[in-house]
């Protein structure tokens, strides 16, 4: 009987991991299809980019509300609604007759994605034992990295062999599979007392404000590698696009490798210590990006990225575990939404701020700025009272 329950719990975790995969491939796969979308609808590339922007905008500005809905109405029920909305919207993208309707459908898919992203993390924390929350969240981080790393190449294969519409068909099929698995294996929640009204004092509970500030800063730093890296590798090192694609995949691949081990480290050492370790490793990686590429070129960039990414995974696993375990059970959906919101704000800040610094200076100045930002986050970590109450 115990082994049956353990097997069912493992399947529940796998169903949530697949749900997290949906949110990352929704961004990474369609990028490859943008030129063909622009061609088929007779639009410019900038107009076609709204297909990506609509999804990101919807996710960013609805994710806190999505998490709150899960706390109020029941996470399992709202998660299933979010997955269904994601899948149906993706299916409509396959048959959208105009670019405008495709963009609208992507916005609706982003709304579903915001529900999935926030409630997947909250549901994982809910069904995990207190000793394994870090490992479970590490699995989610790994699946997110898998989608980010594999999305562009998978999208390229699909578009090359069939059409851009098939990328959205894949998302629809994966969404329906995720719906079935969550419906079948995610346990129905126990009845809890009514979720209390939203109060801003939640930001002070367990040091959540520190978690959010660090999350935004770290996301800004990580986005700088994605924005600045391709320009540096092209303009300064003069590398071919295929080589650049390989080099830029090193970070996501290292995240895949280090995701689950990072969660286990959190379970063993506790959140406070691992947050600091992760930030210190990130600072080392940012320092390597300042020093190594000018000395040894492409190899230096690869080595520095290979240092930075595991540090990011350590931080993410520890920071998310800290925030989720310190939150009241009936507010974990909202806390998960706040974490995702701060992450997206950091990504947008990284794209604009760090890209602007690079455009007006150099890669060395850009990552010196990243070192300073990482130091600020480490200072917040040392000052904040964010140690999870259950670790």
If one counts every other C-beta atom within 10 angstroms of the C-beta of residue 39, the result is 12
391 vs 387: CA distance, rounded Å: 8
What is the SS3 assignment for 8?
helix
The reported pLDDT for the residue numbered 195 is: 52
DSSP notation for 76-105: HHHHHHHHHHHHHHHHHHHH-SSHHHHHHH
In this prediction, residue 385 carries a pLDDT of 54
DSSP string, 172-222: HHHHHHHHHHHHHHSPPPPP-PPPPPP-GGGGGGGGHHHHHHHHHHHHHHH
192 Cβ contact partners less than 8 Å away, ≥ 6 residues apart: 329, 330
- Inter-residue contact 275 to 318 (CB < 8 Å): yes
Look-up of token digits 């994601």: 86
Q: What percent of the chain is helix, strand and coil (3-state, nearest 5)?
A: 85, 0, 15
Contacts from 193-201 at CB under 8 Å and sequence distance 24+? Answer: 193/330, 195/71, 195/72, 195/330, 195/331, 196/330, 196/331, 198/68, 198/334
DSSP 8-state assignment for residue 234: I
Determine the pLDDT at residue 102: 96
Domains and CATH numbers, the chain: 2-185 (1.20.1250.20), 201-383 (1.20.1250.20)
Block means of pLDDT (10 residues each) for the chain, 391 residues, are 58 86 84 82 82 84 83 89 96 95 95 90 74 73 75 77 91 95 83 52 68 92 81 84 75 84 89 94 96 95 94 91 78 78 81 82 93 95 59 38
Question: In the structure encoding, which two tokens stand for residue 369, read together?
Answer: 């700025």
Identify the pLDDT of residue 199.
Answer: 54
Nearest to 106 by CA among 26, 2, 199, 183: 26
Helix axes 50-73, 332-349, angle to 10 degrees: 160
Distance of CA 11 to the CA centre of its chain: 22
CA 223 to chain centre: 11
What are the φ and ψ backbone dihedral angles of 327, each rounded to 5 degrees?
Answer: -80, 150
């Amino acid at each position: 009987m115990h082994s049956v329950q353990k097997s069912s719990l493992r399947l529940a975790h796998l169903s949530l991991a697949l749900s997290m995969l949906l949110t990352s491939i929704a961004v990474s796969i369609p990028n490859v299809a943008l030129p063909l979308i622009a061609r088929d609808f007779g639009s410019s590339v900038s107009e076609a980019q709204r297909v990506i922007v609509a999804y990101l905008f919807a996710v960013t500005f609805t994710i806190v509300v999505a998490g709150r809905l899960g706390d109020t109405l029941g996470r399992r029920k709202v998660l299933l609604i979010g997955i269904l909305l994601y899948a149906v919207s993706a299916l409509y993208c396959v048959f959208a007759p105009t670019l405008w309707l495709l963009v609208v459908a992507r916005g609706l898919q982003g709304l579903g994605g915001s529900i999935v992203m926030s409630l997947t993390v909250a549901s994982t924390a809910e069904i995990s034992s207190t000793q394994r929350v870090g490992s479970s969240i590490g699995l989610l981080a790994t699946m997110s990295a898998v989608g980010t790393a594999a999305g562009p190449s998978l999208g390229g294969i699909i578009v090359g062999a069939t059409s851009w519409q098939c990328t959205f068909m894949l998302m629809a099929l994966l969404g329906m599979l995720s719906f079935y698995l969550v419906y079948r294996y995610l346990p129905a929640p126990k009845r809890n007392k009514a979720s209390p009204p939203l109060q801003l004092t939640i930001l002070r509970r367990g040091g959540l404000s520190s978690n959010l500030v660090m999350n935004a800063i770290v996301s800004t730093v990580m986005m700088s590698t994605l924005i600045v890296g391709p320009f540096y590798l092209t303009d300064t090192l003069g590398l071919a696009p295929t080589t650049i694609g390989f080099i830029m995949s090193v970070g996501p691949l290292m995240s895949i490798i280090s995701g689950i081990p990072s969660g286990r480290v959190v379970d063993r050492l506790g959140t406070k210590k691992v947050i600091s370790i992760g930030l210190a490793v990130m600072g080392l990686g940012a320092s390597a990006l300042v020093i190594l590429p000018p000395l040894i070129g492409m190899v230096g960039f690869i080595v520095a990225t290979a240092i930075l990414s595991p540090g990011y995974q350590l931080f993410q696993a520890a920071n998310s575990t800290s925030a989720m375990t310190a939150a009241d059970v009936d507010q974990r959906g909202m806390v998960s939404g706040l974490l995702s919101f701060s992450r997206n704000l950091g990504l947008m800040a990284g794209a604009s701020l760090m890209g602007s610094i690079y455009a007006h200076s150099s890669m060395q100045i850009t990552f010196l700025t990243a070192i300073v930002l990482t130091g600020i986050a480490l200072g917040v970590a040392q000052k904040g009272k964010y140690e999870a109450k259950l670790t």
